[in-house]
């Protein structure tokens, strides 16, 4: 087996990770209080509150959302920011549960990170600062949704999702950090600068939402009563994963319902 050497950055990160473990407990709580200074963006105000709605009646498990995510965010082949889970048969139909980052209103990962590498923007998006991440993986353990993945290897090969499913819009993450779905913040921010509306204009909407051939995903601003997510949540019953934990997820699910049943997969392919 080829011997792998650690660069200076990896060595420092491993050392800092060990230090973080050593000071876990009350010291971590004190460190977390410094996150606002480390990420002043999290203290800014925003008129927006982004959320996603996933309709299980329309999801056929095609996986195009995952592929578009991998392409737009240059995700390694062995990592999925958007998992697709089979959840059994309902009414004779196989159902699926896509699981991105929930972008929780009270995100456990932001409370546990000892260096402020994971934080929440004022618009609700839970972000990663990969330059600050020391790879301690506290956030990965704290996430009750399994939405975070540790990057064990340097991703320097080809991305099989490119160019069929899109082009990279963010830099690749370095080895030794935890990475996850970001609601395609880069598309949202760029779109707003261009005067576009996320959830309405495709260029300003998360790649997974745009790629879904069934329209099973909606995105928008919960502060806007006319946004796609506000309208559909007003008209339909919904649920969120593990709501009893008090994490206040920003991803809502519409359960299987007769009025919006999924089409056979052969119709999707035609």
Write down the domain spans for the chain. 8-269
Q: What sections of the chain are H helices per DSSP?
A: 8-22, 26-32, 35-38, 64-72, 108-112, 138-142, 185-193, 207-211, 228-235, 265-269
> Are 49 and 188 within 8 A, CB to CB?
no
Kindly report, residue by residue over 54-89, the tens digit of the pLDDT: 999 999 999 999 999 999 999 999 999 999 999 888
pLDDT band at 44 (very low <50, low <70, confident <90, very high): confident
Can you give the pLDDT at residue 22?
Answer: 39
Tokens of 245: 């934990």
The model carries a pTM of 0.80
Kindly report, residue by residue over 170-222, the tens digit of the pLDDT: 999 999 999 999 999 999 999 999 999 999 999 999 999 999 999 999 999 99
CA distances from 93 to 58, 173, 252, 262 (A): 11, 38, 21, 8
Domain 8-269 falls under CATH 3.30.70.20: yes
Mean per-residue pLDDT over the chain, rounded: 85
């Amino acid at each position: 087996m080829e011997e792998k050497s650690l660069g200076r950055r990896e060595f420092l990160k491993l050392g800092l990770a060990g230090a973080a473990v050593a000071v876990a407990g009350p010291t971590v709580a004190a460190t977390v209080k410094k996150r606002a200074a480390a990420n002043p963006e999290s203290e800014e105000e925003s008129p927006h509150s982004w959320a996603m709605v996933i309709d299980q009646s329309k999801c056929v498990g095609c996986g195009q959302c995952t592929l578009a995510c991998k392409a737009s965010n240059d995700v390694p082949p062995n990592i999925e920011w958007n998992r697709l889970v089979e959840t059994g048969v309902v009414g004779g139909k196989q159902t699926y549960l896509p699981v991105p980052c929930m972008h929780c209103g009270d995100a456990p990962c932001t409370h546990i990170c000892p260096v402020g590498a994971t934080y929440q923007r004022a618009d609700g998006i839970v972000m990663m600062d990969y330059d600050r991440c020391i790879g301690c993986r506290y956030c990965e353990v704290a996430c009750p949704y399994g939405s975070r993945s540790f990057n064990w290897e340097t991703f320097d090969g080809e991305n099989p999702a490119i160019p069929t499913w899109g082009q990279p819009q963010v830099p690749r993450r370095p080895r030794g950090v935890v990475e996850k779905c970001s609601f395609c913040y880069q598309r949202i921010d760029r779109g707003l600068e261009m005067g576009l509306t996320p959830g309405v204009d495709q260029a300003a909407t998360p790649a997974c939402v745009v790629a879904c051939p069934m329209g099973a995903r909606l995105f928008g601003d919960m502060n806007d009563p006319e946004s796609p997510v506000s309208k559909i949540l007003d008209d339909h019953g919904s649920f969120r994963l593990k709501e009893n934990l008090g994490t206040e997820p920003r991803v809502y699910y519409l359960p299987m319902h007769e009025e919006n049943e999924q089409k056979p997969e052969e119709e999707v392919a035609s």
